[in-house]
Amino acid sequence: MDTDNQGAHAAVIGAGGGIGGALVAALAADDRFVRVHALSRNPAPSSGRIAAGMIDVTDEASIAAAAGRITEPLDLVIIATGTLHTEGAAPERALRELEAATMARQFAVNTIGPALALKHFTPLLHRGERSAIAALSARVGSISDNRTGGWHSYRASKAALNMIVRCAAIELGWSRPQAICVALHPGTVDTALSRPFQARVPAERLFDAARAARQLLDVIDGLTVQQSGRIFAWDGQEIVP
């Protein structure tokens, strides 16, 4: 977070995941931040600058409670939750493979959970100072970039998330004109989410979680308020919805 505010505060929702955990570590090592709220379903013990807390993005009461435990204004919030292959179900390759329960799970985790996190965490952002809230999305959520089809539920849930982010950015601009709200595509990261699909990924485009976290934070650092509501890839390039 590129801010002149020494003693900044951040929150990472989904700190138990590969990217989320790396984001927590990177922020805790950044001297600009005095506290990083690491929120996950199974929080690790708090340590140093890291304040661990429980959150379940499929339960709004849990999201509200996690937000309610934070008493200081936040400079940065990153929603790093997501699912691709739920409970053993691989992404669909054709319409005949669609199942209502799988689709509902994808939307619950990838769209509704982050939307509710935006609902409860945007009020914690600083008023009158630059702040940012970002949700991890995916390039495959771009409708205009879809050339191959497939992965119906995942694509649709991420496309819906991108729209939620756009709407949130417009609304946030009314109350916090210096706040930035964006969706971020981290690229292919060596985590459990992408592991079954890494075979065709060039080695130079398969990032470890620590590198992915640094890249995402660099992108956030470079954003302006005028770019709020958009989708950006790990290299800072804008993705057309």
Domain ranges of the chain: 8-239
pLDDT of residue 205: 72
pLDDT of residue 149: 95
pLDDT of residue 169: 98
This prediction has a pTM of 0.93
Low-confidence ranges of the chain (pLDDT < 50): 2
Q: Which residue has the tokens 């640094």?
A: 214
pLDDT of residue 239: 97
pLDDT of residue 87: 64
pLDDT of residue 141: 96
Query: Is the separation of the CB atoms in 32 and 49 below 8 Å?
Result: no
pLDDT of residue 176: 97
Class of domain 8-239 (CATH, top level) = alpha beta
pLDDT of residue 206: 80
CB atoms within 10 A of CB 101: 10
Query: Is the separation of the CB atoms in 55 and 112 below 8 Å?
Result: no
Query: Is the separation of the CB atoms in 75 and 18 below 8 Å?
Result: no
